[in-house]
Structure formats: structure tokens, C-alpha cells
Amino acid sequence: MKIKACLFDLDGVIVDTAKYHYIAWKEMAADLGFDFSEDENELLKGVSRMRSLDILLGIGKITKTEAEKLELADGKNRRYLEYVSHMTAAEILPGVTRFLDDLRSNGILVALGSASKNAPMILDRIHLKEKFDVIVDGNSVSRAKPDPEVFLKGAALLGVQPHECLVFEDAQAGIEAALNGGMKVIGVGSSDHLSHADHYIPGFKKLDYELLSKWYL
Ligand code: B16
Ligand code: MG
């Protein structure tokens, strides 16, 4: 198998933190006097905090100064942290822990490549941090997905070439980021919503090293 490393997105791949992002943004929208639907929340998946805020303010047709935006983003993050601080390992998506162990025992390096600045804290909460050789998150990158920076940085820190990397992503911007970086990519979700990935999986329940070997010989 040519693949030497697997890089994982966090939200939507390892855990479903999208629901907590949604509640926090929805509460903020309500404070600002407009409704924010679950469908509209799809637009924020994989998108950075400040870009998410811009999209949300656009939906509410609200204009704010840069200083006000920083304050709003801070407020949203405080609400979000209240929710994720109660997370436990029970919220790890099905099959993820077994799959990470399977990869590691077969000599595959494992990295996290997430847009979230809260990623290390969340991995800590769900006791998954030690399964990752490298963590790259929203604190260590300056360009958001679909820019490949987050994944290229992960590959460099692992000491592998991009073409030796396989990315797992649930957001279209993340799939584009992996492809822009010259990596293979598996879409976590349905091809009805995602495109251009090599393969699509509904989750990790039925995936193991053996199947990956067949796909990427
Ligand atoms: P934070 P991922 C992304 O995580 C989320 O999908 C996205 O909704 C969120 O806005 C972004 O992280 C930033 O998160 O506010 O915690 O820094 O999918 O890249 O793991
Ligand atoms: Mg995601």
C-alpha cells in the first residue's frame, strides 16, 4: 500500500461537534433578532470561525464592525465551549477508535487536520489525543480549507510526502483541500452531498486497514 499516513478532520469525522456549533450560532442569531435554520448550518461545516460569522451575518442581513465581529465570535465560542466541555468518549463516532488502533498497529501514521481552534481541547475531553502522532488545527494554520495548508503541514510534520497521505473529510471544502494538496481523499458522508473524493463511506464501522489496502495498493 502506498499510503503511509491518514489525516482526519475532526468535526463530522471523529465527533459530531456540528450540533454544538449549531446551537451556539443559533443562540447568537436569536440575540441578533433572526432565525438560523439547520439547513443554513450546512454552510458552516468545515469553515473557520470568522468566516462562519460572516456567512451568518449575511443570512441575517446584519452589518458589524471588525471589533464587533471579534466580540460576537468570542461570545459564540464561549457558548460553544460550555457545550463541548461536557463531551465524553461516548460521543466518538462509531468505529473511529477501533479504526485508529487498526491503522496504528499496521504502521500507518495518524494526524488530525481540523479548522477548529478548540480541537486539542476536544481530543483531550474524549481521551483520543494520544492516538494522534501530529495535531494540526485552526491555531497553527493561516489559510482555511480548501487551501491545503492544514493537511500539507500535517504531512510535513509526519515526514511523509502528500501522495503518501489519505485524508478523511466530511466537508466539500476539506475534500478540495486534500485534492489541492495532492492527497487521496475519502468522503465521510454521501456522494449526494460530496463530490470528487476517491471513495465515500457512511462512517467507520465497516472500514479497516485490509479494505484500505485493497483500495490503495
Ligand atoms: P472553532 P473541522 C470546523 O471543524 C467546523 O466544522 C466548523 O463548523 C467550525 O466553524 C470550525 O471548525 C472552527 O471551529 O470555532 O472551534 O475554531 O470540520 O475542520 O474539524
Ligand atoms: Mg468537518
CATH number at residue 141: 3.40.50.1000
Do 70 and 173 belong to one domain? no
Q: Report CA dihedral (121, 126, 129, 135) to the nearest 10 degrees.
A: -50
Do 9 and 46 belong to one domain? no
Measured at the alpha carbon of residue 201, what is the angle toward residues 156 and 181, in degrees to the nearest 5? 25
In total, how many domains does the chain have? 2
Q: Of 61, 84, 107, which residue constitutes the final position of a domain?
A: 84
The ligand placed nearest to the CA atom of residue 169 is: 2
Q: What is the pLDDT of residues 35-87, one digit of tens each?
A: 999 999 989 988 899 999 999 999 999 999 999 999 999 999 999 999 999 99
The ligand placed nearest to the CA atom of residue 44 is: 1
Q: What is the DSSP letter of 23?
A: H
pLDDT-derived band at 1, boundaries 50, 70, 90: low
Q: What is the pLDDT of residues 121-154, one digit of tens each?
A: 999 999 999 999 999 999 999 999 999 999 999 9
Cα separation, 115 vs 138, in Å, equals 4
Do 96 and 202 belong to one domain? yes
pTM here is 0.94
Q: Is the CB of 52 under 6 A from ligand 1?
A: yes
Which atom of ligand 1 is closest in space to residue 14's alpha carbon?
A: 20
Do 108 and 140 belong to one domain? yes
State the catalytic residues. 9, 11
Which atom of ligand 1 is closest in space to residue 76's alpha carbon?
A: 15
Q: Is the CB of 114 under 6 A from ligand 1?
A: yes
| 8, 25, 170 from 178: Cα distances, Å | 11, 27, 12
Q: Is the CB of 44 under 6 A from ligand 1?
A: yes
Do 95 and 153 belong to one domain? yes
Q: Is the CB of 41 under 6 A from ligand 1?
A: no
Q: Is the CB of 45 under 6 A from ligand 1?
A: yes
Q: How far is the CA of 17 from the centre of ligand 2 (A)?
A: 9
Q: What is the DSSP letter of 15?
A: B
Do 94 and 165 belong to one domain? yes
Mean pLDDT of the chain: 96
Instruction: State which residues form the domain around 119.
Output: 5-16+89-215
Which atom of ligand 1 is closest in space to residue 12's alpha carbon?
A: 18
pLDDT-derived band at 217, boundaries 50, 70, 90: confident
Do 12 and 22 belong to one domain? no
Do 41 and 101 belong to one domain? no
Do 93 and 191 belong to one domain? yes
Whether 187 contacts 194, CB under 8 Å? yes
Q: How far is the CA of 67 from the centre of ligand 2 (A)?
A: 27
What CATH number is attached to the domain comprising 55? 1.10.150.240
Cα separation, 187 vs 172, in Å, equals 8
Q: Of 59, 84, 109, which residue constitutes the final position of a domain?
A: 84
Could you identify the residue written with the cell 466518538? Answer: 92
Do 24 and 10 belong to one domain? no
Do 75 and 144 belong to one domain? no
- Name 166's bridge partners: 6, 184
Q: Of 26, 61, 84, which residue constitutes the final position of a domain?
A: 84
Do 52 and 98 belong to one domain? no
Q: How far is the CA of 71 from the centre of ligand 2 (A)?
A: 24
